[in-house]
Structure 1
Amino acid sequence: MPSTPRPPSLTERTIDAVREGIRDGTFVPGELYSVYQLADQLDVSRSPVREALLRLAETGMVSIVRNRGFRVVLPGARELAEIMAVRMALEIPAAAQAARRASAEDRAALETEREAMQQAVQDSDEGAFLLHDQRLHALLLNLAGNSHTIRIIENLRDATRLVGMSTMRKSRSLEEVYAEHLPILTAVEHGNATAAAESMRKHLESTGRLLLREAAGEDDDVDRLWAEYVTWSR
């Protein structure tokens, strides 16, 4: 008999709630939020909230202010370079695996997300676009069949989400981001693992360099950071 899935713990529910709050703009970078208020909003005790925030702090998504609360953290250029190195190391081979393994049902699921992304572009709905972008990447990672990779990438994408939203407003359009996904999906559709990996590399490199430029301070050399932290991983 299959085992019944374990319901999420209060800590896991809190983590999900904070992540969702970051995604939908409820929690914004720099603002100080109270642990007590968050516990009241979620109708849980403070202990699971504190545990959830400690876990989120480990991913770099929040910083904890002792005896006061927590803040959402925008990653700096160096941290973004490190994140993109990990994403490229994991998502490029995952795209190749997806091309090798995708069934007709899998390709249909990817097409559904592509259509939803296209509709979001037509509606100029950035929130919907980001949601379906995330789902499409998750489908590709699921096809690669490594649950650890899925969890790692989910954390990294959440850590960069706020910076990524600003690049769409300032540096590139939804249409441009959408277009970067099409070669990946075409390669998966045709079972071309080499093309899928190369298309994913180009997409992540385009995204990563934009993120670094958006986060860079006066003393940050984007090209040097990219060469130091990302290029070596190829």
Structure 2
Amino acid sequence: MNCTNCKTEVDLNYCPKCGQPTKLKRIDGHYILHEIEHVLHFERGILYTIKELIVNPGQNVKSYLVENRSRLVKPVIFIIITSLIYAIAYKIFHFEDAYINFNGTEDVSKMPVSIAVFKWLQSNYGYTNMLVGVFMVFWLKLFFRKANYNFFEILILLCFVLGIGMLIYAFFGIAEGLIGIKTMKVGGIVGLIYSTWAIGDFFGGKKIMKYLKAFASYVLGMLTFIFIVMLATVIIDTVILK
């Protein structure tokens, strides 16, 4: 028979060219449970990735880039899953998490574009965090220009680091929702400390200057993002008002 995927002649259970099974298993409850177990499996799964990124982030991300890309969850999938976890926690426990607090009318159609955009950013912190990461890359490239990493490799680093950051914020947000004490500010500090340490560790942080550069890149990336969003929305508001 021929492979249903690449049409290569197959006489075994799997295609020797693309690895496609000759007979796909029927999708049932057992199949769904197996897929969930595969994602959450402690070895080479989401839990394993979280543990490795907490214990030794720099070395694990370097290993992912240059040695072995099967040990950790794919970076884009990782930040999507962690952002989803954060979003679910936020919807359930309703903790305060925004860069900018918004109070006012809920009718988006009556808002200036700038206010509407920041309201969306406030309500979608997971996506906001990913967008901020793009701006952080530019500052990291500037501060660590001697390091031999390109834009996309640094972006991979930030997917892992910001993903752990989302879990930290989710943890403190859940704690705030359960015990009724404002803990998100503590979570923000812990997240900033972790991000600074993880980024500095990735770039060979044996000197304090590495961590200072990592901290500066994180903060400047966030400020640059906010400034550009404000500038763009103010320009749009001005054009609309005219």
Structure with the largest fraction of helix: 1
Name the structure, 1 or 2, with higher relative contact order (CA <8 Å, separation 6+).
Answer: 1
Could you say whether these structures have the same fold, taking a TM-score greater than 0.5 normalized by the shorter chain as the test? no
Q: TM-score, normalised by structure 1?
A: 0.29
Q: Which of the pair has more CA radius of gyration? A: 2
